[in-house]
Amino acid sequence: MNRFLFAVTALLSAVPLAGETSATEKSSSSPTPTPRGQRRLLYVSDPSSIASNLFPDPVHAEDLRRWVDMLADSGIDTFNQEVYNQCWTNYWRSKRFEYDPRPQHRRFLPLLEKGTQPLAILIDQSHKRGLTFIAGFRMNDNHGGISQFVRTHPEWVLREFPEGELYKASKPLDFTFAGPRDYVHDVIAEVVSRFDVDGIELCFRDHAYFPVKKGRAKAHLMTDLVRRIRATLDEAGKAKKKKLLLGARVFSTLEECQDLGLDVPSWITKGLIDYLCPQDVMFADFNAPYAEFARLTRRSPCMLYPALLPWTSARARNRLDQIPLSPASCRALAHTFYNAGADGLSVYNHFTTMWHAPFYPQALRCLRSLRDPARVAAGERHYLFDPTWGGLTYFGLDRASTGAVRANRIVLERAGNKTQGDYPFWLFEDLRQGQSATLLFRGFNLSNTDELRVTLNGKAIPAQAVRLIGRGLSEQGRIDFRKGGEPKFSTRWFELGPSLLVWGQNKLSVALKQGDPKASGPIVIDEVEVFVQP
């Protein structure tokens, strides 16, 4: 290790990481976020959404430039246009690789037939506006479209999956074989050689890369591919006289990554990637352990940009007619990111709610304030903790595509021994600065006359301080949110004081002290919200 790298590593190692300081160890002020580098906002444009919902048919060069201007005017400093998915190229055409045949990508054909690559226009305008341009690659994405490459090589298609209907809706490739790995590498190599990109992002948000339960044993194969891509970028960077970035978008816990064959710790410690973006596949997760990623990245030059997505759960998405997160909730999530040790954030699937006002470009403008941790901390924050994949059976009950259960809840039985439960949640708030705050939780099948004992981080909340708003009882206790309708529940809430919270992971505990004799069925508490007003 050279002297400079050693000094940088030592300096970063000395930075206190979120979650490593308990309430009793804190000094007179809470830790101040210390994001590194100059990049704060990375916007990811998937292969089809902007093409389908923003661009006209046919697309002209000025449409592409106007799109980049929208992003630059909204405070975005890094633009990732995904240019490859399902073994198809997007926004560019090649003699070696198949172009995406779907209707939304045919609107680029007039430009392509004139010899103009839309990707080149996006890159040129990004550089004119001072944006870093990243070409994104969906590593094993398949939304049901079958490319010629997949048809030609059925022997390379993964065939074994756990129970769950959505596993059967696609044909991802098995990276055990050299063929899929070579193909992805060669597409990346062509993009890097033909276009003036500033980097490449590898998007790992797919059902699988290796056969079921073989990910950890075969992780070295994916690491070899990442290492090979790193070498290709380094070689191209020397010729272009600039460093080409390599980023990775991965699942929201290290355990899930490693289960699927993504050895993220090795990628970081071996210097293979320049930035990392942990996220759930579909939802903004306020309760993911982002600090565990920061403990790795902060001891390396690798930057950390967790993802902001438009909804917190399948339930919230359906119940609220897909209305995206409010500005207060975006601030709350960004506040969590920065204080967990992130260097900025990435914006993913933001465009999937383009039919809700305010529309683009105004809907992009609220992102600018998320660049500054101090500005984030100065605004109202609304934290949402709910069962991300709760009630869904797409990949098994309550499970994400990784197999991980995503349904944090407390279940209190009216008849039985399970009358107490804990709900852990991450919160980086220091109320000694004069903020007011409230915590609420919803109990489905909870009667207004059920008596509860509530504690937060081991401190009892007096019964008279816990207030309620009732919505009555549901006969079933739960409902299927995919079918619409409103649940029936009782909401309990109380004000938060400085002494109740800890910096990092908190624990809400609820016990059924005296049950309503007229009620039946278990009480399920799986929605917790915290409002902070500076």
- Give the chain's mean pLDDT: 91
Taking alpha carbons only, the member of 69, 73, 102 closest to residue 86 is: 102
Do residues 318 and 416 both lie within one domain?
no
User: What residue spans of 244-300 are helical by DSSP H?
Assistant: 254-259, 264-269, 290-297
Same domain, 270 and 378: yes
Q: Would 398 be classed as within a structural domain?
A: no
341/446 same-domain check: no
Cis peptide before 487 (omega within 30 of 0): no
Both structure tokens of 98: 């198949």
Task: Please tell me whether residues 416 and 337 are part of one structural domain.
Answer: no
With tokens 């352990």, the residue in question is 289
485 and 340 share one domain = no
One domain for residues 167 and 279: yes
212 with 129, same domain: the answer is yes
Q: For residue 42, give Cα distances in angstroms to 102, 182, 275.
A: 27, 28, 11
* pLDDT given at position 229: 98
Tell me which residue range forms the domain holding 463: 410-533
Residue 50 lies in a domain: yes
Contacts of residue 11, Cβ cutoff 8 Å, sequence gap at least 6? none
Q: 160-191 as b/e, with b when 16 or more CB fall inside 10 Å? A: ebeebeebeebbbbbbbeebbbebbbebbbbb
Task: Say if residue 212 is in the same domain as residue 250.
Answer: yes
**What token pair was written down for 334?**
């960004």
480: domain CATH number is 2.60.120.1200
> What pLDDT sits at residue 166?
87
For residue 119, what is the domain's CATH number? 3.20.20.80
Digit-coded pLDDT (tens) for 189-242? 999 999 999 999 999 999 999 999 999 999 999 999 999 999 999 999 999 999
**Tokens 């980023």, residue?**
247
Q: Which helix (H) or strand (E) holds 452?
A: strand 451-456
pLDDT tens digit string along 372-412?
999 999 999 999 999 999 999 999 999 999 999 999 999 99
> For residue 29, what pLDDT is reported?
52
325 lies in some domain: yes
Q: CA 243, CA 237: separation in Å to the nearest integer?
A: 5
Q: Please identify, among 325, 351, 385, the residue that sits at the C-terminal boundary of a domain.
A: 385
- Residue 473 pLDDT: 40
375 and 501 belong to one structural domain: no
CB-based contact 414:521 (threshold 8 Å): yes
CA distance 253 to 265: 12
177 token code pair: 């074989």
User: Is 48 domain-assigned?
Assistant: yes
Same domain as 475, residue 381 = no
Closest to 184 (Cα-Cα) out of 211, 161, 206: 206
pLDDT-flagged residues of the chain (< 70): 1-29, 144, 471-487
Q: How many domains does the chain have?
A: 2
Same domain membership, residue 451 and residue 360: no
One domain for residues 353 and 451: no
Say if 397 falls within a structural domain.
no
- Does 31 fall in a domain? no
Look at residue 391 and tell me if it is in a domain: no
